[in-house]
């Protein structure tokens, strides 16, 4: 009663509207690749190289903050045994090793 009905006008489509949306989609795809996917893939590759390069006697740091010396590497099930002290040996999955430390790091702590 107090509000009149509004009718939409038939507006002409914006020139190049479909082509512009395809370009924007491609730009978003490139941004996604270079900002999100590529750095993550690089980190995964570096971690795999780290896991394959571990050897008996290396001193490593786990994700939980445990520093130990590799005593045994079980290749068939992806586990390693770490010697934390002379009397304490623990078993850890290889995936949880975050860094290989320089020789003598445990003695300097």
- pLDDT tens across 15-25, in order? 666 788 899 99
Provide the CA 16 distance to its chain's centre, in angstroms: 39
- pLDDT tens across 25-41, in order? 999 999 999 999 999 99
Query: Which residues have C-beta within 8 Å of that of residue 37, sequence separation ≥ 6?
Result: none
HSE at residue 1, side-chain half, CA atoms within 13 A, is 0
Q: Please answer whether residues 68 and 59 qualify as being in contact, where contact means their C-beta atoms are separated by less than 8 angstroms.
A: yes
pTM for the model stands at 0.66
Comparing CA positions, the residue from 67, 95, 66 lying closest to residue 79 is 95
């Amino acid at each position: 009663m107090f509000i009149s009905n509004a009718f939409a006008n038939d507006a002409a489509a914006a020139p190049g509207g479909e082509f512009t949306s395809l370009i924007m989609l491609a730009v978003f795809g490139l941004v996604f690749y270079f900002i999100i996917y590529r750095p993550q893939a690089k980190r995964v590759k570096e971690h795999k190289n780290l896991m394959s390069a571990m050897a008996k006697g290396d001193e490593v740091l786990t994700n939980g903050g445990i520093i130990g010396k590799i005593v045994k590497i079980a290749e068939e099930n992806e586990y390693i045994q770490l010697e934390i002290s002379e009397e304490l040996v623990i078993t850890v999955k290889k995936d949880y090793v975050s860094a290989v430390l320089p020789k003598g790091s445990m003695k300097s702590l």
